[in-house]
Amino acid sequence: MSAGIAFGRAYLIGRDTLKAPRHHVEPDDVDTEVARLYKAIAASDKQLAKIKEKLASENESDYHIITAHQMMLHDEHLVGAAVGYIREQTINAEWALRRAVDDIAGVFDSIEDEYLRERRSDVEFVFERVLRNLLGRDTGPLAPPPDAIVVAYDLSPADTATLHKAAVAGLITDAGGKTSHTAIIARAHEIPAVVGLETITEVVETDDLVVIDGASGVVIVNPTPQTVADYREEQRRQVAAGAHLHTLRDLPARTRDDTAVQLFCNIDGPDELDDAIDYGAMGVGLFRTEYLFMGKGRLPDEERHYQVAVQVLEKLKGLPATIRTFDLGADKLAPFLEDAALEEANPALGLRSTRLCLAPLGRTLFHTQLRGLLRASAHGPIKIMFPMISGVGELRAVKAVVDEVKAELTAEGVPFDPDTKLGIMIEMPSAALTADLLAQECDFFSIGTNDLIQYTLAVDRVNEYVSYLYEPLHPSLLRLIGTVAAAAKAANIPVTICGEMAGEPMIAPVLVGLGIRELSMSAVSVPEVKSTIRSMTVTDAEALVGRIRGLATATEVRAIVSDFIFGLARPRTASGGIAAQSPADKGRA
């Protein structure tokens, strides 16, 4: 989903069933057929490169998704299988390619992990383009009229990334889930979207009037005038709330009893910083550097780490930048890791993150990244943060590598700040429970609640079957956060929360009541969290924590916390309260 309300006329993109013809080729023509396939792959690569070129300066995540698609084009396994079919069965390239894609698609279907399963559609998109090139069909961009609601079976990330240029009002699709790249790109461009509606292309016709409420996933086709009026009103409320939040940009995030709460942003690349500053973030609390490792065969060198970090510092103009060393493995895969083909039954409990940095497979990369980051420390306030630290032993091991790198730089006469702050993410119960010991040996903590919830509740964070158990307000989590905050306070070191829960306005009073004074979140959440902070007092937040302390379940905690939120006398943003749809509306998904 991608939040926001949109109205528009439907522009239906029919499900173009691109059939692959099948015919035999003469044994003498097999080489020509293989060459046709490679030529179509090369043409597809060029088309994607062109799309990417247009997008490069706008949004780094689109860029990387399309780079990943280019990599898929050259997947030896898939292309090799297609070439094998051409040669062994003397059949044409289109048919051979279709079979090779179907073989792979079958494997994707049996994967339980939602995110990985959705990569099937990426493979389909990529090779559909190749098929189009083989058949000499149109591969140009979609061209809906401006302000249209695009209705499609599915949209490729390349199409979605170019659609915002066409100024479409919204997107709705039959296929896809919340981690499909279409949804991710729509969110990045703030295009309201609802995906995974299954049969919407059968319900809607071109030129039908459509209303989308991206936040609640509602689509109404040919609504009554009353429904339109209700949604227009809701849209106005949301815009006004947004404008109100924008006016908060330059106001401090201080509680009514005058305690400052620092609000930072989480970013994936320097290109996100202009917006983040616009939303009022006071620095970077988490820079996820994994994206630097995503290009095939182009592992980042020291210069790249250095340049990117300096770019972040320049954009921040003196505000602090917390840069996390790479956190690869499990749900964050990079080509070099895929090539290593680790056979792990439980990747989330396996060779990921800092463990990988300290293992032979990742050690040189880690060393290189640390050199780049320490060199950048000469240009501004960088803090280096290590993810997934399990305890003091691992902390000492990473610090030993930092010492090695510092010694090298000193010997080479390369400038760096010797007092660069070194901190750790608290993402495992083992770290939370030994926070007092860890606090003696590092400069700051940042609680990664996404993983801390996963590992405390034993709930895979990307597994839809157990997502109902993924509960930030579980009493166990509140206890762990309280323990970490107390340990940080006793040792006089700062502690941030940088998991998704830091960006939930409703949870902010609980975190402040537990002693947290720094929150790092996706930049769009900064204004709303700031609004909550400015409407409450620390005294009340501490009393709230006192009330929830003895509660046994997350449901009970949530009830008390929502009472607290309703009680805050603050200018409220619109939430819920959307008028129900009239029964006269033609369709609803």
Q: How far is the CB of 354 from Mg ion (least distance, A)?
A: 11
Between CA 573 and CA 577, with CA 576 as vertex, the angle to 5 degrees is: 105
Tell the smallest beta-carbon distance from residue 46 to ligand PEP (Å).
34
- Token look-up 């509140």 returns 478
Calpha distance 108→119 (Å, rounded) = 8
Summarize as ranges the residues that interact with Mg ion (CB under 5 A): 427, 448, 451
Q: Choose, from 64, 69, 164, 181, the residue flagged as catalytic.
A: 181
Strands, E, within 373-504: which ranges?
Answer: 382-386, 421-426, 444-447, 495-497
Q: What is the DSSP string of 118-147?
A: HHHHHHHHHHHHHHHHHHT---SPP-PPTT
CB of 170 to Mg ion, least distance (A): 32
Name which of 79 and 502 has its Cβ closer to ligand PEP.
502
Q: Work out how close the CB of 520 gets to ligand PEP at its nearest, in angstroms, rounded to a whole number.
A: 8
Binding-site partner at residue 420 among ligand PEP, Mg ion, none, CB < 5 to 8 Å by type: none
Question: Is the distance from CB of 121 to CB of 154 less than 8 angstroms?
Answer: yes
Q: Token match 């009026």: residue?
A: 229
Determine contact, residues 209/222, Cβ cutoff 8 Å: yes
Closest separation in Å from C-beta 276 to Mg ion: 19
Please indicate whether residue 181 is annotated as part of the active site: yes
To the nearest whole angstrom, how small is the minimum distance from the Cβ of residue 1 to ligand PEP?
19
503 binds ligand PEP (CB under 6 A): no
Cβ at position 450, least distance to ligand PEP in Å: 3
Query: Reading across the β-sheet that carries 149-152, which strands appear in turn?
Result: 193-194, 170-173, 149-152, 5-13, 209-213, 218-221, 587-588
Question: Out of 327, 394, 460, 504, which residue is the one contacting ligand PEP (CB under 6 A)?
Answer: 327
Q: Rounded to an integer, what distance in angstroms lies between the CA atom of residue 506 and that of residue 508?
A: 6
- At which residue do the structure tokens 């950048």 appear? 376
399 contact choice in ligand PEP, Mg ion, none (CB below 5 to 8 Å, kind-dependent): none
Helix, strand and coil percent figures for the chain, each rounded to 5: 55, 15, 35
In terms of Cβ atoms closer than 10 Å to its own Cβ (0-12, 13-18, 19+), residue 24 is exposed
Whether the CB-CB separation of 515 and 490 falls below 8 Å is answered with no
Residues in the chain: 589
Q: Which of 265, 357, 442, 498 is catalytic?
A: 498
Comparing CB distances to ligand PEP, the nearer of 329 and 372 is 329
**C-alpha angle 42-44-48 in degrees, rounded to nearest 5:** 120
Measured CA to CA in angstroms, residue 486 lies from 406, 472, 491, 499, 517 at distances of 32, 19, 9, 19, 12
Report the 10 Å Cβ neighbour count for 257: 11
Closest by CA position to 46, among listed 65, 69, 78: 69
Does position 115 interact with ligand PEP (CB under 6 A)? The reply is: no
Q: Return the number of the residue (90 or 450) whose C-beta is nearest ligand PEP.
A: 450
Q: Which does 249 bind (CB under 5 to 8 A by kind): ligand PEP, Mg ion, none?
A: none
**Contact pick of 280, 372, 380, 499 for ligand PEP (by CB under 6 A):** 499
**Which residues inside 135-194 make contact with ligand PEP, applying CB under 6 A?**
none
Count of helix runs (H) and strand runs (E) in the chain: 23, 15
User: Shortest approach of ligand PEP to residue 8 CB, angstroms?
Assistant: 34
Size of the site for ligand PEP (CB under 6 A): 10
Per-residue contact string for residues 456-495; x = within reach of ligand PEP by CB under 6 A: ----------------------------------------
CA atoms within 13 A on the CB side of 240: 11
Structure tokens at 206: 């071109």
* Residue 60 CB, nearest approach to ligand PEP (Å): 16
Give the nearer residue to Mg ion in terms of CB position, either 154 or 327: 327
Helix or strand or coil: residue 194? strand
Please identify, among the stretches 83-91, 357-365, 446-454, 578-586, the one whose residues bind ligand PEP according to the rule CB under 6 A: 446-454
Q: CB under 5 to 8 A by kind: which of ligand PEP, Mg ion, none does 362 bind?
A: none
CB of 297 to ligand PEP, least distance (A): 24
575 binds, among ligand PEP, Mg ion, none (CB under 5 to 8 A by kind): none
288 binds, among ligand PEP, Mg ion, none (CB under 5 to 8 A by kind): ligand PEP
Alpha-carbon Rg for the chain in angstroms: 26
The smaller minimum CB distance to ligand PEP, of residues 287 and 336, is found at 287
Q: Please say which residue, 175 or 351, places its beta carbon nearer to ligand PEP.
A: 351
Is residue 451 a contact residue for ligand PEP (CB under 6 A)? yes
Instruction: Give the position of tokens 């030896």.
Output: 76
Nearest residue (CB) to ligand PEP, 448 versus 515: 448
How far apart, in whole angstroms, are the C-alpha atoms of residue 418 and residue 60?
32
Q: Which is nearer to ligand PEP, 389 or 498 (CB)?
A: 498
**Contact code string over 388-427 relative to ligand PEP, x by CB under 6 A:** ---------------------------------------x
Q: Say whether residue 498 binds ligand PEP (CB under 6 A).
A: yes
Select the span of 2-10, 45-53, 409-417, 442-450 touching ligand PEP (CB under 6 A): 442-450
* Contacted by 498, from Mg ion, ligand PEP, none: CB < 5 to 8 Å by type: ligand PEP
**By CB under 6 A, residue 450 contacts ligand PEP:** yes
Strand blocks (E) in 78-208: 149-152, 170-173, 193-194
Distance, in Å, from the CA atom of 32 to the CA atom of 25, rounded to the nearest integer, reads 10
- Residue (79 or 286) nearer to Mg ion, CB: 286
- For residue 515, the SS3 value is coil
Structure tokens of 271? 């290109």
Cβ distance to Mg ion smaller for residue 242 or 347: 347
Q: Is 210 helix (H, G, I), strand (E, B) or coil?
A: strand
284: which strand partners? 265, 321
Residue 499 contacts which entry, ligand PEP, Mg ion, none (Cβ below 5-8 A, type-dependent): ligand PEP
Chain positions contacting ligand PEP, by CB under 6 A: 286, 288, 327, 427, 448-451, 498-499
**Which residues are identified as catalytic?**
181, 498
